[in-house]
Structure 1
Amino acid sequence: MTSKILVVDDDENIKKLISIYLQNEGFETTLANDAVEAFEFLQEEEYDLIILDIMLPKINGIEACIKIREEKTLPIIMLSAKSEDIDKIQGLSSGADDYLTKPFNPLELIARVKSQLRRFKKYNKMQKNNEKVLEFDDLYMNTETRQVWVRKQEKRLTPKEFEILELLLRNKGIVLSVSKIYEAIWKEDFLKSDNTVMVHITNIREKIEEDPKHPIYIKTIWGIGYKI
């Protein structure tokens, strides 16, 4: 089955060059000029990977990546003319899986595309074969026995803490808003003044993080929500 790739860049020449190389490797491509157009394509079609430029008009690539991650887990490779480490960190922190600096070798981009697709397909296959066990780095959860291990040590969570952590693990890489978490776990409408989710996240961090003030598992995406 042919993999579909969405290329988002406002530079026509770069966009066409990427598309030619991808099509030569048997990939199907869709070209978007900006994030708004990309969002429209993502609503209409399922894609296997996104190549996303950071310097976009209207909505930049960082903001676009965060929004995409609210709903999609597919691999995202970011492109940028900026080569500073802080720019790479910002790109990867927003939910991107890989980062390539312009100008780049198209063959390197193709290699990274293939690598990300292999990794994602392998991950999806493992998830289907073993849906009872969820993991992230050295954090493991068995949803059948309702046990959690971090760094090979078992951690005791309350039922609600377990459900929140399971929800985040099942949506790895996706930013979940406080309201989505609350409504998914408590099965009732969320009120803006309610800090129940924040309190539970704090309690979970106290149990699973080495340094709860600098968490490595549950990340806060300010103004949006939480993600693993």
Structure 2
Amino acid sequence: MKQVLVIDDDRELCELVSDFLESEGFDVETVHDPHIGLQRALSEEHSLVVLDVMLPGMTGFDLLRSLRLSSQVPVLMLTARGEDIDRIIGLEMGADDYLPKPFNPRELVARIHAICRRVQFVEKVEETTPSRIQLDDIIIDVSTRTVKQNNQDVRITAVEFSLLYELMKHAGNVMERNELTRKVLGRELEIFDRSIDVHVSSLRKKLGHRVYDRERIKTVRSVGYLYTLNLKDS
């Protein structure tokens, strides 16, 4: 993963971010206009998009909504510090992760590297596991990173795919939130961090809360989540 698109109207910040990312080996394109940014994000020329929530003429949420209609490129959103609702909304709309402003550029680099590792992990996972996992009405194809439900394609983001893969791979076993955060987001669970919870909620909405006569993804209070199994399969 080398091509990064930064969409932010703060030119000084973009210059600083570009310097840090380029020193880490990334090729960086910066765009200050959200409409042009959307066009560039849809070009399929980038491996990751860094997107600011507060943009002139079009919010980052509006841009992300339009982007997700046809693209699943990983998106890291920049939100105002303390605005928890912005982070939750961004995740619910399909952002992979978020970083509150102001931030240390090294933290941004670390978050991007984490997304890189997650994508690379999914690419390599087919070498050590079956190319398909099937449970009930869901088939997940690791090699093509696609999900089918009742033979119909389900549009999910890259991070949702990784989360579903981990839950289905360990179906019948509880996965702790901190473990899911490390494996899916590539970082440690932070205090008051609801990222994994929001991504689980999104999967539930897309796949259905229940499968047959049971809850599909069960919350284990104060611990984590469990992808349930039919009793006859357990």
After TM superposition, the score normalised by the length of structure 1 is 0.61
Bigger Rg, structure 1 or 2: 1
Matched, 1:207 2:211: yes
**Are the equivalent residues in 1 in contact too, given 2:31–2:37 (CA < 8 A)?**
yes
C-alpha distance in 2, partners of 1:141/1:79? 33
Partner SS state of residue 79, structure 1? strand
Query: In structure 2, how many angstroms separate the alpha carbons of the residues matched to 1:86 and 1:64?
Result: 17
Q: Which runs of 5+ in 2 are unaligned?
A: 142-147, 159-204, 217-224, 226-234
* Aligned equivalents of 1:12, 1:202: Cα separation in 2: 37
Matched, 1:172 2:171: no
CA offsets 1:54-85 (integer angstroms, 9 cap, x no match) = 00112211121122222222221100224222
Rounded Cα–Cα distance in structure 2 between residues aligned with 1:81 and 1:202: 28
> Which residue pairs with 2:111 in the alignment?
112
Do the aligned partners of residues 141 and 203 (structure 1) sit closer, same or farther apart at CA in structure 2, a change above 3 Å counting? closer
Which residue among 128, 150, 163 is the counterpart of 2:151?
Answer: 163
How far, CA to CA, are the matches of 1:205 and 1:83 in structure 2? Answer: 30
Q: Percent identity?
A: 33
SS state at 1:78 partner: strand
Kindly indicate whether the alpha-carbon contact (under 8 Å) linking 2:68 and 2:94 is maintained by their aligned counterparts in 1.
yes
Q: Contact (CA 8 Å) 2:2, 2:26: kept in 1 or not?
A: yes
What is the rounded CA distance, in whole Å, between the counterparts of 2:2 and 2:46 in structure 1?
7
Deviation at 1:44?
3.6
Kindly state the Cα deviation for residue 112 of structure 1 after the two structures are TM-superposed: 0.5
Query: Deviation of residue 32 (structure 1)?
Result: 0.9
Structure 1 alignment gaps of length 5 or more: 144-159, 175-200, 217-228
Q: Distance in 2 between matches of 1:202 and 1:29?
A: 33
2:95 aligned residue: 96
When residues 16 and 130 of structure 1 are mapped into structure 2, their CA distance, relative to the original with a 3 A threshold, is: farther
Alignment partner, residue 23 of structure 2: 24
Q: 1:184 aligns to what?
A: none
Q: What pairs with 1:59-70 in structure 2 (closer than 5 Å)?
A: 59-70=58-69
Q: Does 1:4 align with 2:3?
A: yes
Contact 1:10 1:57 (8 Å CA) reproduced: yes
Structure 1 position 51, deviation (Å): 0.4
Which residue of structure 2 lines up, in the alignment, with residue 36 of structure 1?
Answer: 35
Instruction: State the match for 2:191 in structure 1.
Output: none
State how far apart, in whole Å, the 2-side matches of 1:162 and 1:76 are: 28
3-state SS in 1 of match to 2:151: helix
Cα distance 1:105–1:142, how it changes in 2: closer, same or farther (>3 A)? closer
Cα distance in structure 1, aligned partners of 2:66 and 2:108? 23
Does the 8 Å contact 1:19/1:29 carry over to 2?
yes
